[in-house]
Structure 1
Amino acid sequence: MVCAQAITQSEGMPKCCMFSLSPKIMPNSILKALLWIYLRPVEEPTTVFIQISHLKSLSEGNNHSRIRAQKIDVNARTNSWQHIDMKQLLQLWLKQPESNFGIEIKAFDANGNDLAVTSAESGEEGLQPFLEVKISDTGKRSRRDTGLDCDEHSTESRCCRYPLTVDFEEFGWDWIIAPKRYKANYCSGECVQKYPHSHIVNKANPRGSAGPCCTPTKMSPINMLYFNDREQIIYGKIPSMVVDLCGCS
């Protein structure tokens, strides 16, 4: 998963939004692309019309075409994040980079007020639109260090890496936007004592040493998109979330 935050545009252009896209994103590798928009609270329940317009030219600020329109019901005094599918437009941008002049975001309530937060005004820092993109892993993986991989059908008793998928929704962690689940893996199995000294120490003083344990020897991070306690969207790299290699230590 990759994430791009909205960039403020130049004077004379709509406030939002341009996105700086990662070179890792290729048109055919996009599995999902969502535009996240934060709506300001309203005094009474209302229907909001979210309009996303594609800007066609930098020299003509009014030259744009509507590409998405969505109607939602909003409760009174409730802040909310909404998302809109942007996969087709993102693929167009990547295939035709010259067509990427950004988008204009509007979210009108029944009284004509625009509720969309599109810039970092005072008190609204961290609430700008985000583009969440999930891509397929089509690149070649680097060769793994030595280590055993097993599954639930394996009869291997030695220290081994087993697959494990963590589902955040099962935990009730709705503050995590993406990924909703990921492959964490875990280590399990027996470790043979490598040195005679370890065996002798255990014989002489069983409580002094538990011997080698099957444990992660290599781990990697994951990228995560989540809400903090101020309802701001945070995108960051969380370290040591995936077990890549198991060994005895």
Structure 2
Amino acid sequence: IYEIAAEHSNRESDLFLLDTQDLRAGTEGWLVFDVTAASNHWLVDRKYNLGLRLYVETDDGLSVDPGSAGLLGRRGPRSKQPFMVTFFRASSSPVRVTRAARAPRRRQPKKTNDLPHPNKLPGIFDDVHAADSRQVCRRHELYVSFQDLGWLDWVIAPQGYSAYYCEGECAFPLDSCMNATNHAILQSLVHLMKPEAVPKACCAPTKLSATSVLYYDSNNNVILKKHRNMVVKSCGCH
């Protein structure tokens, strides 16, 4: 996604790269791009607001129509219209507060493998993504053993199965990989403004699949039944 820096009648527009995302063909959900640089530019002077431009390209560099790639724009339903979220700090004075003079600190050389968080934004977002130990909402391994549950006296097969579970942060901004609902996006926004009144969105299963179990019923008959909603296939923020 680019900011249009300048338009020309005799050649292509000047573009400033804002953010990129690498996606698989089967990706579903919202795409979140950091356009802070453009919004800051527009706040300085409205005449710089010439809009944004989105390009979709294959790994080979071939340009693809966003609509044919599955992106919904203005022609999509109202609930899936693209939007931009901005935050402004309230200040009693436009003049920056003078800080006490300090001896200059020696700059530490930046490690080449220290990359910024992809969702790192100035201001209020610093607190949201401060803890490196946090993990975003995703699926985790969980093997359920029927022996540990004491069920092998009536369960014939299987001995157990991979059930998985969902855990992780649903911190704003909610990335497309979090499979966030519209309600979760709005709840996250309200949580930022009123954290004591509204909790964060929760990490929960979005897709579940069935598992077949062979077992004895109460009459000692052997039954093979497919039980619904036994395996977590994907997780998201709700």
Verify same fold: TM over 0.5: no
Greater strand percent: which structure?
A: 1
| TM-score normalized by the length of structure 2 | 0.37
| TM-score normalized by the length of structure 1 | 0.35
Of the two structures, which has the highest relative contact order with CA contacts closer than 8 Å and spacing of 6 or more?
Answer: 1
Greater helix percent: which structure?
A: 2
